[in-house]
Amino acid sequence: MDYKVQVGVQSHLEMGPLDDRTMEDLDDECLFPSEMDAQKTQSVDPNQHISVPGSLPFNGNKMTRNGVYKSIKTVVFSNKLNLLMPFGPLAILVHKMTDSSGWVFFLSLLGITPLAERLGYATEQLAFFTGPTVGGLLNATFGNATELIISIYALKSGMKRVVQLSLLGSILSNMLLVLGCAFFCGGLVYHGKEQVFSKATAVVNSGLLLMAVMGLLFPAVLHYTHTERIVGKSELALSRFSSCVMLLAYAAYLVFQLKSQTDLYVPLGEEVNQNGENLDNNDDDEDEAPEISKWESIIWLAIMTAWISILSDYLVDTIEGASDAWDVPIAFISVILLPIIGNAAEHASAIMFAMKDKLDISLGVAIGSSTQISMFGIPFCVVIGWMMGQEMDLNFQLFETATLFITVIVVAFFLQEGTSNYFKGLMLILCYLIVAASFFVHEDPPTDDQSKQPGT
Amino acid sequence: MDYKLQVGVQSHLEQMGSLEDRSMQDLHDECLHSPETDARKNQTTYSNEPLPFSDGRLPAGCNNMIGHGVYRSIKTVVFSNKLNLLMPFGPLAILVHKLTAHNGWVFSLSLLGITPLAERLGYATEQLAFYTGPTIGGLLNATFGNATELIISIYALKSGMTRVVQLSLLGSILSNMLLVLGCAFFCGGLVYHRKEQVFNKATAIVNSGLLLMAVMGLLFPAVLHYTHTERQYGKSELSLSRFSSCVMLVAYAAYLVFQLKGQNDLYAPINEENLDDDDDDDDDDDDDDDEAPEISKWESGIWLVILTAWISILSDYLVDTIQGASEAWDVSIAFISVILLPIIGNAAEHASAIMFAMKDKLDISLGVAIGSSTQISMFGIPFCVVIGWIMGQEMDLNFQLFETATLFITVIVVAFFLQEGTSNYFKGLMLILAYLIVAASFFAHEDPTSANEKKQP
């Protein structure tokens, strides 16, 4: 996909290195050195499509194995982050052998991190084959697939509070920590000038975030002021209705984004042809060569999702044990620890792009992810809970709702100028410290774990 | 200091507007400081004669000269400002306190007595800043700019009146953001009613961002307490407050670094530009100054100490009698702390902000008003929490829900008004009316906790 489309589509994407050209730079710098080799290998054989682009060569048990091997090499071994992969199976081992919830939780968390990153990679690779529209949709939906998978498992176990807190934490960490680090590091590298980013995108995202806050605020205030018509049922019904409205808004946002991309797409197409380095593929939709074939992408997508599901299961089961073992409240683990470690790859890529003065992509990673979780992830979980018969609602309790509210206002304010410097980044990071400290001393009153009761 | 540097440094200064010496000359000529112009003219005729204390050494054989120098110093500092007519009220307050038990009178007299002292303290700080170079000068102003409020707060903390501390600091922020700024916009807008006055948007936005961060720091302890969701009742918010205060102080320090670094880049090229505009006589040999400071370095330091001591004494009386005054006048302590104390304490600042706005120097007015608010919220309040921590007082950032909500909505309103970068009389009027609403709310507001005791669950 050409650069402009990527940047536009980015605004609701979770992964950073989606732009292949910049991914080349990224590759050169740290994370993906072997992928460059894979790419070069591919470009040397322009006529030979590697392994399984939808048709198996007939003389190919050997070819298949070769293809599978290369596929595994590309996907699994090329990323240094994947060193954390063994922690996944290790977590399962530890769980079977000992009862130490704290360790199992920690190991599954570490094990999920590389899988989350690879899932994003596979999604993006698949997006190459499906054209910009469906690709954008794919990224928009699967961008935060990890958080959603964890949330669905938590819902299944009836731990709706963990769902609410982890989604909230993901939003907060993206808006404050990731964005703050990106601004800070970028500002330090470019301290002579102020970095600029696209104000329009930032403002639209801020608007969506404010709308999400509105959707969350009403059930919470309704409950807190004891002014619902039918205690317990009103806010659930309100939450479900608001979730549908928010999903509608998100769909409209996607349409709006992709439509304006299509208008940009044609005239820029010629421009990119001159810059595209690897125009080996016959596929008209791509300017850059994807690294694995379509079927491989889908298969890897399925494999990653399955693995993440397994580890999420362990994660959710052991979260309470870990909270007791480490003597920190579940709120702190869900809101602060889980998102920070889960989003590590995203975090790193946002910082890297900021240091290369590509602040729009960093913003897309950070704020786009927040928007996606707040306008898609949370309502989606409410709807899933509705289908499962779980009473997941949008009442995040007053403290969390107030936190989200003040954070969105602070961030919206910081973004509206369209410039960034290290001081703004530092302020965002310090704000995150204050938020984290608040959750460290925050504990849900015990009655809130059960179905909502008036008077709390 | 050159104009641009001043303006930049201003943004975190509480200081009297009269930091810019050139405009201070205008200011002098216009109303408050006319005898100072005479003093300056006297000084220029003595240009060949080293003034006592100006080099830090005494000319030999000079009891006469010292006496003369002290006299001139007193004349410059004490008698040159019409506001200093209020100075006798200070000793009068002490007299009344010893003679009668009438708290109401002692309170209002000490308040009136503190006002000129606060203004002179700012003057002495600014004079000292001339001698220390822009960086330290900026730091001096940033720290001592609101020294009066801090001194009053420390005395209140010592007496265990944490609620008074919270309320008076809050009131200072509110009055600076709404009343002082509103009056400045309003009067400036009336004078220049045909055009819109502009100010530096970037500085205003940075300050608004800091104010929002301060609101964030205040919001969490309050909401934590109010929703009864703290882990350890009573202790959690205290530790959270102390942690947040340290974070806010770090942010303020980073802000100062950021400001002063940005000034250094501006400082060199603008220096030439300013020398052409300089109308005044540059008698001093000091390289740091484009303008002559009016009293020497040692004098500034000594006056600083004297004024601080006086303010401390009067603050002691002020704090002791606040409750009595509240009963005598039948208004709540909240109203006195939030509305009356800051208005009267900040009177000089208020006047100078208005004057600068009327001269179309809105950036300085903004520096006085919003800079002061930023300084109190990001430095003053956390500093008091830390001082309370050291003293063993349980001062925290939980300002109770009503006050926190007031601060929140005020910061949002003001941030919104400032983001455009222009001003007119209508904006000023809106800010003033907003302040009226706030004042009325506090008139009708009573603390559920009494001010003298510690917070009770």
How far is A176 from B234, CA to CA, in rounded Å? 28
Inspect the interface and report whether the beta carbons of B224 and A441 lie closer than 8 Å: yes
Q: Is residue A14 part of a domain?
A: no
Inspect the interface and report whether the beta carbons of B251 and A430 lie closer than 8 Å: yes
How far is B137 from B291, CA to CA, in rounded Å? 15
Out of B212, B224, B247, closest to residue A399 by CB: B224
Q: Is residue B120 part of a domain?
A: yes
Q: Using a CB–CB cutoff of 8 Å, tell me whether B210 touches chain A.
A: yes
Q: What is the CATH number of the domain that holds B227?
A: 1.20.1420.30
Sign of the torsion angle spanned by Cα atoms B393, B395, B396, B402: positive
**Chain A hits for B217, Cβ within 8 Å:** 434
Out of B227, B230, B408, closest to residue A441 by CB: B230
Out of B206, B216, B243, closest to residue A406 by CB: B216
Whether A84 has a pLDDT exceeding 80, the answer reads no
Q: Which stretch of DSSP H or E encloses residue A196?
A: strand A195-196
The answer to whether A335 and A166 are in contact (CB under 8 A) is yes
Q: Enumerate residues 6+ apart whose C-beta is below 8 A from B109.
A: B89, B90, B92, B93, B96
Q: Using a CB–CB cutoff of 8 Å, tell me whether A308 touches chain B.
A: no
Q: Enumerate residues 6+ apart whose C-beta is below 8 A from B179.
A: B343, B350, B431, B432, B435
Inspect the interface and report whether the beta carbons of A399 and B229 lie closer than 8 Å: yes
What does the pLDDT read at residue B288? 37
How far is B230 from A445, CA to CA, in rounded Å? 9
Q: Is residue B395 part of a domain?
A: yes
- pLDDT category of residue A1 using cuts at 50, 70 and 90: very low
Boundaries of domain holding B343 = 85-267+293-447
User: What is the percent of chain A with per-residue pLDDT over 90, rounded to a whole number?
Assistant: 21
What does the pLDDT read at residue B280? 37
Residue with the bigger pLDDT between A120 and A404: it is A404
**Mean pLDDT for the stretch of residues B366-391:** 91
What does the pLDDT read at residue A234? 82
Q: Using a CB–CB cutoff of 8 Å, tell me whether B369 touches chain A.
A: no
What mean pLDDT value characterizes chain B? 76
How far is A99 from A115, CA to CA, in rounded Å? 25
**Mean pLDDT for the stretch of residues B392-403:** 88
pLDDT digits (tens, 9 = 90+) for A330-353: 888 889 988 888 788 788 888 888
Q: Using a CB–CB cutoff of 8 Å, tell me whether A427 touches chain B.
A: yes
Angle at CA of residue A345, ends A72 and A162, nearest 5°: 110
**Mean pLDDT for the stretch of residues A112-130:** 79
pLDDT digits (tens, 9 = 90+) for A13-37: 434 334 444 444 444 444 443 444 4
Q: Which of A273-287, A364-378, B113-127, B332-346 has the lowest mean pLDDT?
A: A273-287
Q: Using a CB–CB cutoff of 8 Å, tell me whether B192 touches chain A.
A: no
C-alpha distance from A438 to closest chain B C-alpha (Å): 6
Q: Is residue A60 part of a domain?
A: no
Is residue A302 helix, strand or coil?
helix
Q: Which stretch of DSSP H or E encloses residue B198?
A: strand B197-198
Tokens in use for A93? Answer: 């081992």
- pLDDT category of residue B112 using cuts at 50, 70 and 90: confident
Out of B210, B219, B244, closest to residue A406 by CB: B219
**Chain B hits for A407, Cβ within 8 Å:** 216
CA neighbor of B336 nearest in space, from B104, B96, B14? B104
Q: Using a CB–CB cutoff of 8 Å, tell me whether B227 touches chain A.
A: yes
Query: Would you put residue A438 in left (φ > 0), alpha (ψ -120 to 50) or beta?
Result: alpha
pLDDT digits (tens, 9 = 90+) for A215-258: 999 988 888 888 878 877 888 888 999 999 999 999 999 888 87
Residue with tokens 């050997």: A62
C-alpha distance from B257 to closest chain A C-alpha (Å): 9
Q: Is residue B456 part of a domain?
A: no
Q: How many domains does chain A have?
A: 1
What ipTM was assigned to the predicted interfaces of this complex? 0.75
Task: Determine the residue of chain A that is closest to B237 in CA distance.
Answer: A441
How far is B96 from A448, CA to CA, in rounded Å? 58
**Chain B hits for A427, Cβ within 8 Å:** 209-210, 213, 251, 254
Beta-carbon count within 10 A of A83 CB: 10
Q: Count Cβ atoms within 10 A of the Cβ of residue A326 and give its class: 0-12 exposed, 13-18 middle, 19 or more buried.
A: middle
Q: Is residue A284 part of a domain?
A: no
Q: Using a CB–CB cutoff of 8 Å, tell me whether A417 touches chain B.
A: yes
Instruction: Enumerate the β-bridge partners of residue A419.
Output: A196
Q: Is residue B276 part of a domain?
A: no
Tokens in use for B230? Answer: 């703290």
Out of A406, A416, A438, closest to residue B240 by CB: A438
Q: Is residue A453 part of a domain?
A: no
Task: Determine the residue of chain B that is closest to A426 in CA distance.
Answer: B251
